[in-house]
Structure 1
Amino acid sequence: MSPEADATRLRTARRIEEEYDAYSERVYAQATGTVDPDPQHPFCLYRLIKAGGNIQHVVDAPDFADEVLDHMGRGYREEIASDEDGTRWVSRGPEAADYRAAARESAHIRSQLEARGLIPPRAQGQAGGFGITSPSSFSRTEPRPDPDLDPPPF
């Protein structure tokens, strides 16, 4: 936890971003068929770059659990459905269990980072910021269509 460590992480994250971009281009160039490939971006890479390599800023962001939810494949998404109505694309959104799972995973990530000394431990009684919020400027996903769906208390 230092400015030097943040700078090192930022350099590493930018190198990984370059490698990911090259990988993604190769995957798209080799794709066949009618469905685009989906080379998943590294978890929180763009957030870490935007935060200047500071991991604490990433996990303390009020919408960090949104990123976790999306990375778990439980965020808003389009899926192919095939049933008695035919084959079509349908929109799916997270349910209460998905929000709870993302909150648990967010807390687990934080505890692992604390245990490794990469972020300071929270003060006793300090509330965690693992809520689900509106779409973030970091996210590359579509806007959340149901603002009335509140996540359950954690």
Structure 2
Amino acid sequence: MSKFPFDEFADALAANDEYIKTFKYSGLTGTAQKGLAIVTCMDSRINPLSVIGMNSGDAKILRNAGARVTDDVLRTLVLATYLLGVKRILIMPHTNCRMAQVDEAEIHREIDTKYGIDTSELEFKTVADQKASLIEDVNAVRNYRLLNKGVSVGGAIYDVATGKITPIDC
């Protein structure tokens, strides 16, 4: 069994030592205090809570490449809407997203060419039309039979250049 690679994570562990000196979140619960879940991209340019003026404990954040609704996102939203106080879901992809700039074949080819790894068994869920994919994902959540009833679901695109979110009619 491998040991934890302390040298590779030294910066993160040192930062955590500093973080715990002023840690202030021990009183939070696992419930989304503002009743919101955000499905967004893993892109490091996005700080989901800051984008909507919220703080730790206010919302549930689900992140993946392209902010796509997957089986795992649906599973998590079911739990969030029944057990963790979520009454609203915002699906929020962003501008200048790599998943919206290439197609599935290009991503597979690039990884295979650069690293010699065949990823064809994976679906990366790239998007040819970001607005159409967002509408499809919003409707998939709205129509998911296991989601708690009465949950509001909306979609918006986050602009990484300006910080603005633009709601999309779905």
Scaled by the length of structure 2, the TM-score of the pair is: 0.28
Point out the structure with the larger helix share. 1
Structure with bigger strand share is 2
- TM-score, structure 1 normalization: 0.30
